[in-house]
Amino acid sequence: MLRSLLFVPAIRPRFIEKAPGAGADAIILDLEDSVPAGEKAAGRAAAPDALRTLAAQHPQVFLRVNGLDTGLLEEDLHACIGSHMRGISLPKANDAEAVRQADAYLTLLERVRGLEAGSVRMLLWIETAQAVMRVEAVLAASTRSIAACFGAEDYTADIGVVRSDDLSEVEWARTRVAVACHAAGITPLDTPAAEFRDLERVRTEAGHARGLGYRGKHCIHPDQVPVCNTVFGLADSEVRWANRVVEAYEEGERRGLGAVALDGAMVDRPVYVRALRLLGR
């Protein structure tokens, strides 16, 4: 379950100390956007101890490395990969080759360091026009990929538009990424909400993302975490509805019916399957 993923800068010890108590489903120690160019080496040096500290208190810890295009990816991986982490968050997964290259590095490091093959998983960032148009190939490039993350900030910068309050300019790309993830059988994760103090805005943005098929959202502040956990979690009323649908449809099947009525609405197989998937979450 990845309802909420909290970013923590690798150069901020106080934030790292507090992160496990925020209630996020995953913690992402960040070496990329939140670490200035002049502090990349310092962040990388601090990351191994920070990862071990976080992993001792939290079951799902990822490292957001610098992208392949920066020339820093290899150093980040060499310094940090170990048994204490769930995986990496890979920026700028612009094409299948970038994902395969990261996979190859991880395969080598797992072998050298005695880790189980394939144990280091990947979250792929789809955040450029190129990546959006190639998303199916990107998602299929590695069996390590367990989720893909849509990045609205980088995407809007790439296509030269301003990110608006309603995110209307990213709707098509955001939807395409979610649909591609479901087709590939991996988890779609939504872009962070930049307005971290406006929690109602976070709630609205997360609710819309859930409606597009996203299963979780990145958080840049601990206050966003409970909002995302609630929006992407399951309410008691949803569980009750799903159980009633399953019960009614299966009773109808035993009677030889392809569809049944429940509360004045038709329940056919697609509704039944949706209820089963909801309960499976």
Q: What is the pLDDT of residues 25-70, one digit of tens each?
A: 999 999 999 999 999 999 999 999 999 999 999 999 999 999 999 9
CA distance 187 to 192: 16
Three-state DSSP state, 60? coil
pLDDT at residue 15, as a whole number: 96
Confidence bin at 281 (pLDDT 50/70/90): low
The helix (run of H) or strand (run of E) holding residue 12 is none
Number of other CB atoms surrounding residue 236 within 10 Å: 7
Here the CATH number for the domain that contains residue 228 is 3.20.20.60
- In the predicted structure, residue 185 carries a pLDDT above the cut 90: yes
Mean pLDDT in the chain? 93
Looking at residues 93-103, what average pLDDT do you find?
Answer: 97
> Which residue intervals of 19-95 are DSSP H helices?
40-55, 73-80
pLDDT in tens, 193-222: 988 889 999 999 999 999 999 999 999 999
Q: Based on the domain organization, do 28 and 164 belong to the same domain?
A: yes
Residues 251 and 145 in one domain: no
Please tell me whether residues 265 and 215 are part of one structural domain.
no
How much of the chain, in percent, has pLDDT values that exceed 90?
A: 78
Q: Which domain holds residue 189?
A: 4-232
Specify whether the CB–CB gap between 81 and 120 falls below 8 A: yes
Kindly state whether residues 106 and 137 are assigned to the same domain: yes
Q: Count how many domains the chain has.
A: 2
58 and 152 within one domain: yes
Enter the tokens of residue 251: 């009773």
Alpha carbon distance 281, 276 (integer Å)? 9
Q: Are residues 117 and 246 in the same domain?
A: no
Residue 45 pLDDT? 97
Q: Which residue has the higher pLDDT, 168 or 257?
A: 168
Q: Do residues 188 and 220 both lie within one domain?
A: yes
Where is pLDDT greater, at 159 or 1?
159
Residue 273 has pLDDT above 90, yes or no: no
Residue 124 CB contacts under 8 Å (≥ 6 apart), including other chains: 90, 93, 99, 138, 139, 145, 147, 148, 149
Angle value at C-alpha 62, between 210 and 115, nearest 5 degrees: 130
- Nearest-angstrom CA–CA distance, 52 and 159: 38
Q: How far apart are CA 122 and CA 139, in angstroms?
A: 10
Same domain, 159 and 255: no
The residue out of 232, 251, 268 marking a domain boundary is: 232
Say whether both 26 and 157 belong to one domain. Answer: yes
Q: Over pLDDT 70: what percentage of the chain?
A: 99
176 and 252 inside one domain: no
In this structure, the answer to whether residues 209 and 144 fall within a common structural domain is yes
120 and 259: one domain? no
Tokens at 43, concatenated: 């962040």
Give the model confidence (pLDDT) of 101-125 as tens digits. 999 999 999 999 999 999 999 999 9
Using the predicted structure, report yes or no on whether residue 235 has a pLDDT greater than 90: no
Q: What pLDDT does 83 receive?
A: 87
Higher pLDDT, 36 or 257: 36
